[in-house]
Structure formats: C-alpha cells, structure tokens
Structure 1
Amino acid sequence: MDGKLAVIGLGSIGSMALWQASRLSDSVVGFEAASPGHARSAVGGDTRLFRMLYRGTQSYYPILQRSRSLWAELEAETGQNIFIRCGGLSIGTTGGPYIPKLLETTRINGADHEILSREEMAERYPQHNLRPDDVAVYDPHAGALRTDRAVTAAVAAAQANGATFHTNTPTDGIQETDDGVTVTSGDKSWTFENVIVSSGGWSQRLMPDFLQKSTEPYRIYLTWFVARDPAEFSPERFPIFIRISGERSMYGAPSVDGVTVKATLDGRGAPTPQADPVPRDLTSAEISETMETVTEFFPGLFPNIVRSDAFPDLYTKDGHALLGPLNDQSRIYCATGFSGGGFKMAPGYGEIAASEALGKRSFDGLDFVRPQRYKSI
C-alpha cells in the first residue's frame, strides 16, 4: 500500500478533503493534474459567495453551519485572510419565485436574517437600483471567499500535517481490487486502501456508467465591471448579492482589487462537451444580456465588461452533489458533481468525505447527495 487514502483533484473540494483527512491520518496522498488552485478549474474567478440563506433545500443548513466554523479554523491555522465578512443580500420580486421560498426555508432553519424594504435598501445600499415590487433579505453571516487563497491554504495545512501530494500528475484511471484501489498516471501506479474522486469537471471519466449518464460538464462564465466610485463597492459598503427580479437575474461580490466588481448573470451555466478546453470567450448574446442587466441593476458601474472568463464544473441531473461511496462495499468515494454551488460548503463537504472514506465517522441525512440515488436510472 502507498497510503490509506488518495484524494484525486485538489481543487474546491479536494483541497478541503485533503486538509481534513490529514487531521485524521498520517497516510494521505493528493493527486493534482496541474497545480492546486490553477486558474482553469472551478476555483478560478477570485471569489465565491458564502451565505447561510438557501432556497428550498433545508438539508444544506447544517453543512453551511459547519463550513462557516471550518473556514475560520482554516484562517487561524494558516494565517490567511480567506473569508471576507461583508454580509449578503438576496433580492427579488415580493411575490416571485425566489424570495418567498427563501424566507420559508430560512424560517424553518432559524437562520439569522433581516427583511429590507425597497426604501430601506435605497438608504442602506443605494448601489442597487430596485424595481417597485422588489424586496431584499439581509444575511449577516454571508461574505465572499477568496478561492485561490482557500485552496492553497488548505493544501499547505494538509502538508503541514504530514500529507503529501503530486502536482502535474493527471489521473488516467482508477481500478478497484479486493485489497484497495490502484491509481494510474502515465506509466506510474499507486495503490491505496481508499480513494476520493474530487476532480470536478474531470471526474466523469473516472466514474462508472450509471454516474456518467447522470452527470454532465457545464461551462460557467463570470464577468467584471469598473465602478464609477470604487469606495461604494468596497466590502465595507457592498455585501455579496443574489438577485432574481422578473426576467433578470444576477449575482456578485464586492471589489477585492479596489477597481473591479464581479457581477454575473445567474443560472446561465450550459453543457459543454468536455471540461478541457472550455470556451473562454463570451458569445455576443451573453455579452448583450450581461450589459443590459448591469445597466438596469447598477447605475454605479460602467456597463462595459472589462474582464470575463469561463470555467468548468460537473453538474448532476438534480443539481445536488455526489457525496459518498459508489456502493456500500466500494473503496471509491465520490466528492464531485457540485453543480456550481459547492465552494461555500467545501470544508464541510471535505470533512464528511475524509471522515467517511477513512472509516472514522458516518453522517446521516445525506440521502439527497448519495451517488446510489442514480443506481436505478
């Protein structure tokens, strides 16, 4: 055996699984096709949103709670400033499909929140140009996560705990045997007691047929704009936001460079034939809709896209992750398919994956993410 556990893919989830596994075992090895935090993976794009308010799925709340604590632990352990605590806004039509469902789930979970009228928003957050029937819900525990810092910090923390990892080592295949799992890369191979597959958009080729049929790589694009007054869009004055107003929707984060503001159309991910390469340039339709939306939503931004990029992620048919072993006896553990929404909960997911893959602890209430739900499809 070359170790108790291998983690394949050290991106959003894999880096956190490696970190958490290193707390539980001194025999953990990571494999990364490029380097941790590389800009072509789902880690790219500077920031991701963290929020405690979620629409429709109550089961996420405990994972969000645990992740919030673990983000703080990662910062304390590494000395890195990862979580920008700036609060968050959910904005939408008063009787529309977004806000009522968000409030219903929020009240069931008991999450802290504050409802802000259009008039209160104009006073506190005048950067947003709301429609007459819009309302907002403020999340005091929300913020922005620095993606590259988070991933590199988690890998560094794992290394400090004794974990090792291979960079520029793409995994060609994994083969489960009676004794363990063999990992191959080129002409090299290693054998481990258990393996976690966490390579995002590249995970599909390492999974069995029933999961390949239930997943699809998606292309997600991001856009940035220049602020007329950068101070108005600083983390101290501009919370993260998600807005669904009628036919328009957008999400974004405050400026982390003092100049540009991330503001991106929501829910526009689309299938792509493969994770690599993903078309990086925006289409004319994507550019047009983005600029029209920013023009209406944010008078304080110049409505010209100054930066854009696109990244791959693996989506499942129901939009929920794949988290768990292939079956009750399998030594291959899936931690992938997070469908564009995994980063905020990455350390929580990483803790679950590491604990279960190493046989240290099992978690209840996760049937909605178990891979076996697709077994009969």
Structure 2
Amino acid sequence: MDGKLAVIGLGSLGSMALWQASRLSQDVVGFEAASPAHGRSAVGGDTRLFRMIYRGNPDLYPILERSRDLWAELEAETGQNILARTGGLSIGTKDGAYLTALLETTHTTGAEYQILSREQMAERYPQHNLRTDDIAVYDPHAGALRTDRAVTAAVAAAQANGATIHTNTPIDNITETSEGVLITSGEKTWTFENVIVSSGGWSQRLMPDYLKAATETKRIFLTWFVAKNAAEFSPENFPVFIRIEEDRSMYGAPAVDGVTVKATLDGRGGPTKDAESVPRNLTPAEIQETTETVTEFFPGLVPNIVRSDAFPDLYTADHNPLLGRPTENSRIYYATGFSGGGFKNATGFGEIAAHEALGKRAFDGLDFVRPDRFKTT
C-alpha cells in the first residue's frame, strides 16, 4: 500500500478534502494534473460567491453552515484572508418568481435576512440601477471567497499535517483490485486503500458508464469591468450580488484587486466536448449581452469588458453534486459534479468526503447527492 487515501484532483473540492483527510490521517496523498489553482481549472476567476440565502434545496443549508465555520478554521489555521465578508444582495422584481422562490427556501432554512426596498437600496447601495418594481434581499453572512488563496491554503495546510502532494501528475486510470485501488499515471502506479475522485471537468474518464451518462462538461465564462470610482465598488461598500430579472440576469463581486469588478451573466454555461476543449474567448453575442446588461445595471462601471475568461466544470443531470461511492462496497469515492455552484460548500463537502472515504464517519440526509440516484437498475 502507498497510503490509506489518495485524492485525485486538488481543485475546489479536492483541496478541501485533502486538508480534512490530513486531519484524520497522515497517510494521505494528493494528485494534481497540473498545479493547485492552475489557470485552466474551475478554480479560476479570482472569486466565488458565498451566501446563506439561496433558492433551491433546503437540505444544503446545514452544509453551508458547516462550510462557513470551516472557512473560518482554514483562515485561522493558515493565516490567510480567504472569505471577504461583504454581505450579499439578491435582487429581483417584488413578488417575482426569483425572489418568491428564494424567500420560500429562506423561510424553510431559517437563514437571517433583511428586505430592502428600492428606496433603501438607493440609499445604501446606489451602485445598482434598479427598475421600478425591484427590491433586494440582504444576506449579512455572504461574501466573496478568494479561490486561488483558498485552494493553495488548503493544500499547504494538508502538507503541514503530513500529506504528500504530487503535482503535474495526471491520473490516466483507476482500477479496483482485491487489495485496494490501483491508480496509474503514465508508467507510474500506486495502490491505495481508498481513492477520492475530485477532478471536476476531468472526472468523467474515471467514472463508471452510468455516471458518465448522467454528467456533462460545461463552459462557464466570467467578465470584469473597471469602475469609474473604484472606492464605490470596494469590498467595504459593494456586497456580492445576484440579480435575476425576466429578461436579464447577472451576478458578481466587488473589486477585490482595487480595480476591476466582476459582473457576469448568470446561468449561461454551455456544453463543451471536454475540459480540454473550452473556448476561452467570448462570442460576439456573449459580449453584446454582457455589455448591455452592465450598461443598464451599473452606471458606475465603464461598459467595456476589460478581462474575460472561461473555465470547465462538470454538471450532473439534476445539478446536484456527486458525493459518495458508485456501489456499496466500492473503495472509490466521487466528490465532483458540482455544476458550477460548489465552491461555497467546498469545505463542508470536503469534510464529508474525507470522513466517509476514510471510514471515519457516515453522514445522513444526503440522498440528493449520492451517485446511486442515477442508477437505472
């Protein structure tokens, strides 16, 4: 045996699973095809939104609560400022479908929130140009996660705890044997008691057929703009936001670099052949819609895209992640398929994956993420 646990892919989820596993065992090894937080992974793009208020499955809320605590633990353990606690805004038409669904979930979870009228928004956050019937829901616990800093901090913390890291080591194949799990990279092989597959858009080739059929790689693009007055869009003055109207939608984060504001069209991920084939350049239609939306929503931004990029992520058929073993007695554990929305939960799901893969603890109430939900027989 080369170790108790291998973690394949040290991106948003894998880095956190490795960190948590290193707290449970010194016999864990991480494998990364390039380097942690490399520029072509789903980690790219500087920031991700952390929020406690959302629309959708209320069963995610306990994981969000645990994730919030673990982000603070990672900061304390590494001395890094990872979560900029800016607060968050969800903006839409009063009594419209988006805010109605969001508040329904929020009432179920019991998350703390505040309703801001159009007039209150104009006073507190005049950066937003609202429509006549718009209001906002304020999340006091939301913020911007610094993605590169988070991943590199988690990997460093794992190494400090005794974990071994192999970079520039893409895994070609994983095979279960009577002794454990054999993993192969070129001509090199290792055998581990258990393996976590957390390689995002690159995970499909390490999956059984039924999971390949339930997943697809999609391209996510991001855009940034220069503020006319950078102070107005600083983390102290400009919360993270999601705004969904009937005809336009956008989300973003403050100028964490002191210059550029992330403002990106929401929900525009499109299928791509594989993680290696993601077109990095925006199409003319993407540029036009992004520019038109920023022009309406943010008069304080210069309506020219100054930076853009695109990244792959693995999506499941129901947009819930894969977390668990493909069969009951398998030694392979999947922690992938987060469908463009996993970073905020990465610490919480990473803790679950580490404990379950090492056989330390099982977690209930997670049927909605278990891989066997996609089995047909």
TM-score, with normalisation over the residues of structure 2? 0.99
Deviation at 1:95, TM superposition (A): 2.1
Matched residue of 1:294: which SS? helix
Name the CA distance, whole Å, in 2 between partners of 1:151 and 1:259: 23
2:331 is the alignment partner of 1:331 = yes
Give the letter aligned to residue 31 of structure 1: F
Match for residue 159 of structure 1? 159
Deviation at 1:309, TM superposition (A): 0.1
**CA offsets 1:320-367 (integer angstroms, 9 cap, x no match):** 000001111110000000000000000001000000000000001100
**In the TM superposition, what are the counterparts of 1:107-126 in structure 2 within 5 Å?**
107-126=107-126
**CA offsets 1:184-204 (integer angstroms, 9 cap, x no match):** 000000000000000000000
Match for residue 63 of structure 1? 63
Give the letter aligned to residue 111 of structure 1: A
2:96 is the alignment partner of 1:75 = no
Name the CA distance, whole Å, in 2 between partners of 1:334 and 1:48: 22
Deviation at 1:168, TM superposition (A): 0.2
Give the letter aligned to residue 321 of structure 1: P
**CA offsets 1:19-53 (integer angstroms, 9 cap, x no match):** 00000011000000000010100000000000001
Deviation at 1:246, TM superposition (A): 1.7
Matched residue of 2:102: which SS? helix
Deviation at 1:94, TM superposition (A): 1.2
Matched residue of 2:250: which SS? strand
Match for residue 29 of structure 1? 29
2:239 is the alignment partner of 1:239 = yes
Name the CA distance, whole Å, in 2 between partners of 1:203 and 1:33: 12
Deviation at 1:178, TM superposition (A): 1.9
Name the CA distance, whole Å, in 2 between partners of 1:284 and 1:180: 50
Match for residue 295 of structure 1? 295
Match for residue 308 of structure 1? 308
Which runs of 5 or more residues in structure 2 are unaligned?
none
2:266 is the alignment partner of 1:283 = no
- Farther off after superposition, 310-319 or 100-109: 100-109
Name the CA distance, whole Å, in 2 between partners of 1:277 and 1:36: 20
Name the CA distance, whole Å, in 1 between partners of 2:72 and 2:358: 24
- Farther off after superposition, 94-103 or 299-308: 94-103
Match for residue 13 of structure 1? 13
Deviation at 1:107, TM superposition (A): 1.1
Matched residue of 2:223: which SS? strand
Name the CA distance, whole Å, in 2 between partners of 1:58 and 1:374: 21
Match for residue 144 of structure 1? 144
**CA offsets 1:214-264 (integer angstroms, 9 cap, x no match):** 000000000000000000000000000000012100000000111110000
Match for residue 194 of structure 2? 194
Name the CA distance, whole Å, in 1 between partners of 2:194 and 2:277: 30
Match for residue 257 of structure 2? 257
**CA offsets 1:250-279 (integer angstroms, 9 cap, x no match):** 000000111110000000000000101311
Name the CA distance, whole Å, in 1 between partners of 2:365 and 2:279: 38
Match for residue 94 of structure 1? 94
2:185 is the alignment partner of 1:185 = yes
Deviation at 1:54, TM superposition (A): 1.5
Matched residues, number: 377
2:52 is the alignment partner of 1:38 = no
Match for residue 222 of structure 1? 222
Name the CA distance, whole Å, in 2 between partners of 1:327 and 1:77: 35
Name the CA distance, whole Å, in 2 between partners of 1:15 and 1:146: 14
Give the letter aligned to residue 338 of structure 1: F
Give the letter aligned to residue 81 of structure 2: N
Matched residue of 2:69: which SS? helix
Deviation at 1:179, TM superposition (A): 1.9
Match for residue 208 of structure 2? 208
Name the CA distance, whole Å, in 1 between partners of 2:97 and 2:21: 40
Give the letter aligned to residue 66 of structure 1: R
Give the letter aligned to residue 215 of structure 2: T
Match for residue 318 of structure 2? 318
Give the letter aligned to residue 59 of structure 2: S
Which runs of 5 or more residues in structure 1 are unaligned?
none
Deviation at 1:85, TM superposition (A): 0.5
Name the CA distance, whole Å, in 1 between partners of 2:360 and 2:326: 18
Name the CA distance, whole Å, in 2 between partners of 1:55 and 1:243: 13
Name the CA distance, whole Å, in 2 between partners of 1:236 and 1:49: 15
Give the letter aligned to residue 94 of structure 1: K
Name the CA distance, whole Å, in 2 between partners of 1:162 and 1:151: 17
Name the CA distance, whole Å, in 2 between partners of 1:200 and 1:19: 17
Name the CA distance, whole Å, in 1 between partners of 2:185 and 2:161: 25
Q: CA RMSD in A?
A: 0.6
Matched residue of 1:81: which SS? coil
